[in-house]
Amino acid sequence: MQQNSEANARGIILMVLSMGAFAMADTLIKLVSGEVAPAQIMFLMMAGGSVMFCLMAKAQGARLIDRRAIAPVFLVRYLAEVVAMVGMVMALAHVPLSAVGAIIQATPLLVALGAVLFLGEKVSWRRWSTIVLGFAGVLLIVQPGAEGFDALALWAVFSMVGLSVRDLTTRMTPPDMASASLAAYSAVAALPFAMAWILLDGDNFLPPEADWVMLISIILLGSLGYLLLTASIRTTSISVVSPFRYARLVFMLILGVLVFDERPGLPVLAGASLIVFSGLYMMWRERVLKQSG
C-alpha cells in the first residue's frame, strides 16, 4: 500500500512538472512570435524535436527504423500532428495565452467523442452530458457570433481537433512501439510541411535576428515535458495522473497574467471551469466503472 502511495505521489509530481514545462514552452513561443514567423517556429521545433526524440529512443534501446511507421493509421496521425502544431503556433502568436490553454484542455472530451463515432465505444447519458458541457465551455470562450468574436481563436480549436485525432490514432498504433520512436516519426514527418510553409512565406529557415536562447529553450522544454509525461504515465496508473494534466491550464493562466498582463474575462474563466469540471468528472466516472467492473 505504501509503495502504491509513493508511486502515485511520484507520478503526480512528474505530471505537474511536465505540464509546467509545456506551459513555459508555450509562453516562450508567444514571446518569440513577434520576431520569428510561425512557420519558422514550427520548423525549429520539429527539427529540434526530431533530434531530441531520436536520442531518447536510442537511449531507451528502441528501434528507429520500422516499416509499420508508414501504415495508414500513422499517416493520419502525422497529418493530425501537423494540424495540431500549426493551430497551436498560430494561436499562441495571436490569442491570449489563457484562452489557448483553456480551449486545448477540451481535447480529452473530443477524444471521447471520437471513440464513440469511430471506435464504436458505447457511452452512457452521463458521458454524453459531460461532452456537451465541455464543448459549451469552448463556445463560451470562443463566443462565435458575438460582437467581440475573434476568428483567430479558431486556431486553438483547430489545434484541439488535431491533438484529439492524434491521441485517438495513437490508440490504434502497435503497443510494442516505443513512445519516443512514435514522437520521432511524427516530428520527422512534419518537417517537410514546415519547410514548404517557410518557402511559401519567403522566409529564411533560420531567423537571423532571433533570440536563440529562447528558441533552444522552447525545444528543450518541449522535450523535457514529453519525457516527464512519459515517466509519469509509466510510474503509476493513468487514471491517477490524468486529472493533473489540467495543471497546464493553471500554469498558463498564471503565466498569462504575469508575463503578458492578461486579464481573463468572465466568459474565459467560466468556459475553462466547465471544461475542467467536465474532464475531471469523466475521468472520475471511468475510474468508478473500472473499479465496479
Question: How would residue 293 be classed by pLDDT, with cut points 50, 70 and 90?
Answer: low
DSSP state of 203: -
Query: Does residue 34 have a pLDDT over 90?
Result: no
pLDDT of residue 29: 94
If one compares 50 and 229, the residue with the highest pLDDT of the two is 50
Q: 116-150 in b/e burial notation, b at 16+ Cβ within 10 A?
A: eeeeeeebeeebeebbebbbebbebbbbeeeeeee
pLDDT of residue 26: 94
Instruction: Give tens-digit pLDDT for 202-230.
Output: 888 888 777 889 999 999 998 888 888 87
Percentage, residues of the chain above pLDDT 70: 94
Provide the mean pLDDT of the chain.
86
Q: 122 vs 219, which has greater pLDDT?
A: 219
Instruction: Check residue 3 and give its pLDDT.
Output: 57
Q: What is the CA radius of gyration of the chain?
A: 19
CA dist 274 and 224 (Å) reads 29
Cα distance between residue 222 and residue 178, in whole Å: 18
**Per-residue model confidence (pLDDT) at position 149:** 65
Cα–Cα distance for residue pair 57/179, rounded to 1 Å: 8
- Which whole-number Å values give the CA distances from 43 to 128, 207, 213, 283, in the listed order? 38, 11, 16, 35
Cβ atoms within 10 Å of 34's Cβ, excluding its own: 7
- Find the largest Cα–Cα distance for the chain: 60
Residue 7 reports pLDDT greater than 90:
no
Our CA dihedral for 65, 60, 55, 231, rounded to 10 degrees, sits at 120
pLDDT computed for residue 126 by the predictor: 78
Q: What's this model's pTM, rounded to 2 decimal places?
A: 0.85
